[in-house]
Amino acid sequence: MEFNDYRGKWESQVKNSNICKKCNGKSLCLSVCPSYSVDYVELARSNENSLLGRIRCVCNGYSRNKDIRFSASTGGFVHELCKTLLDNKKIDGVISITHDHGLEYSPKILTDIHLMPNSIYHNINFQNTITLLKKAEGKYLLIGLPCQITSIELFLRKRKYAHLKEKIYAKVSLICGYSFDRKNAKAFAHYNNFDLEEISYRERGRYRKTRLKNKSSGLLFEVFNPKNFRERINNMIFFDQFLPQLGCLYCIDHICYCADIVVGDAWQKRYSDDDIGTNIIICRTEKGEDLISQMESFKFEKGYQEEIIEAQSPAYALGTIGEGMKRVKLKGHYFIPERRRTDNLSDIQRYRFKFKDLIKIKIIKNLLRSERFDAARSLYLFLNLKMVVRYFLRKLIKRG
């Protein structure tokens, strides 16, 4: 993995093409790549529950410790699980990302949960996990995003590395819609005239707040409740579903098929009054079920499979946006499923892939990469002209 300045992200590079010659077309690197032709049914060793993968139980809940719940990304499930397993000496440590410097995070072996950050929405280099597993003795809880967990799983299926599998006590994946490269964060800082050194995404409660930091100051933005139109547009560009890392657009593994436990936000209606944070938890294996049964410091409520769809929308939960993107053609029909909230598993709405989505992917993304942030925002505003006009008309009417 090398850092690509132009794209603002860590990505794989072929450094020594002699290895490719040795491999003789067997594509060893691609065989562990989570975005290349992965058979997810085989990976999960299950075709149960159709696109949701194998599921033993679904539940919702939050930490009984108010501080942990309020300060964690969602309901504090990951922090509480790590704490339980460490306190009960079931594991020798947790493999979690921690902060290095600036925007950089990397996986380490931890025994202090206070070093674990909240959700980091920009691209992380996860490759150190393999080195950690090779060097360490003992058993570890592995925490990561679906693509990270999947690549580790594929790697450990190689005979040569199979022995490392025993060191993983269990695999916990976050639900992941998509993540960004660093150019989105840089653009956001530029729009706010801020000299960005660090960033955090989910502070204080359910409705995430983004904080930009440098040595002398900090700026806090409420993503769900922008103060003015400018803030709203800047937030929209930052978190736009068509401006993530491009590989994320093709992902179908948002609810990690090969993890023991998958955890995300319980966005379903029945928690709409909650403003602190509640997790949705999917247990895929017996191990996963056993782990949650040990968590006395976490309040569990019964959940249902249908709630995964309701909480995440079909596009995430069923990975259909990725399936759709694979079918995108430059001419003819552009079909991708709409990211609409629905309670109904069979209610997967499809819509004609809009020209404006393609402009975001093809043009605005490139403007962001080449750091022409103002041009990117102008074009973005132009694409959302209807919204701009509606906003100002409403304001005029209110005044009148």
List beta partners, residue 300: 61
- By CB under 6 A, the residues from 7 to 66 that bind ligand FAD are none
Among 44, 72, 154, 262, binds ligand FAD (CB under 6 A): 72
Taking the C-alpha atoms of residue 168 and residue 174, their distance in angstroms, rounded to an integer, is 17
Among 84, 119, 210, 235, binds ligand FAD (CB under 6 A): 119
When asked if residue 226 is in the footprint of ligand FAD (CB under 6 A), the reply is: no
Mark residues 271-290: x for contact with ligand FAD by CB under 6 A, - for none: --------x-----------
Interacting residues of 348 by C-beta distance below 8 A, sequence separation 6+: 314, 318, 320, 337, 342
Interacting residues of 239 by C-beta distance below 8 A, sequence separation 6+: 121, 180, 184, 223
Size of the residue set binding ligand FAD (CB under 6 A) = 32
Among 78, 149, 187, 249, binds ligand FAD (CB under 6 A): 78
Closest to ligand FAD by CB, 75 or 324: 75
Three-state DSSP class for residue 120: coil
What angle do the packed helices 286-293 and 77-87 form, to 10 degrees?
80
Among 9, 79, 108, 360, binds ligand FAD (CB under 6 A): 79
Of 253, 273, 266, the C-alpha closest to 302 is 266
Mark residues 133-152: x for contact with ligand FAD by CB under 6 A, - for none: ----------xxx--x----
Closest to ligand FAD by CB, 97 or 252: 97
User: Are the beta carbons of 11 and 226 closer than 8 angstroms?
Assistant: no
Of 269, 278, 251, 350, the C-alpha closest to 306 is 269
When asked if residue 124 is in the footprint of ligand FAD (CB under 6 A), the reply is: yes
Taking the complex as a whole, the smallest distance from the CB of residue 31 to ligand FAD amounts, in Å, to 22
Cβ atoms within 10 Å, residue 235: 19
When asked if residue 76 is in the footprint of ligand FAD (CB under 6 A), the reply is: yes
Closest to ligand FAD by CB, 8 or 75: 75
- By CB under 6 A, the residues from 371 to 400 that bind ligand FAD are none
Taking the complex as a whole, the smallest distance from the CB of residue 280 to ligand FAD amounts, in Å, to 7
Among 75, 93, 146, 247, binds ligand FAD (CB under 6 A): 75
When asked if residue 120 is in the footprint of ligand FAD (CB under 6 A), the reply is: yes
Taking the complex as a whole, the smallest distance from the CB of residue 94 to ligand FAD amounts, in Å, to 7
Of 90, 52, 72, 60, the C-alpha closest to 269 is 60
Interface with ligand FAD by CB under 6 A: which range of 13-21, 225-233, 259-267, 326-334?
A: 259-267
When asked if residue 116 is in the footprint of ligand FAD (CB under 6 A), the reply is: yes
Tell the burial category of 139 from Cβ atoms under 10 Å away from its Cβ (0-12, 13-18, 19+). Answer: middle
* Residue number of the CB atom closest to ligand FAD: 264
| Alpha helix stretches (DSSP H) within 34-192 | 40-43, 66-71, 77-87, 128-135, 146-156, 182-191
When asked if residue 243 is in the footprint of ligand FAD (CB under 6 A), the reply is: no
User: Are the beta carbons of 74 and 279 closer than 8 angstroms?
Assistant: yes
Taking the C-alpha atoms of residue 336 and residue 339, their distance in angstroms, rounded to an integer, is 9
User: Are the beta carbons of 311 and 268 closer than 8 angstroms?
Assistant: yes
Among 97, 156, 199, 212, binds ligand FAD (CB under 6 A): 97
Residues that bind ligand FAD (CB under 6 A): 72-79, 96-97, 116-121, 124, 143-145, 148, 174-177, 179, 263-265, 279, 312, 316
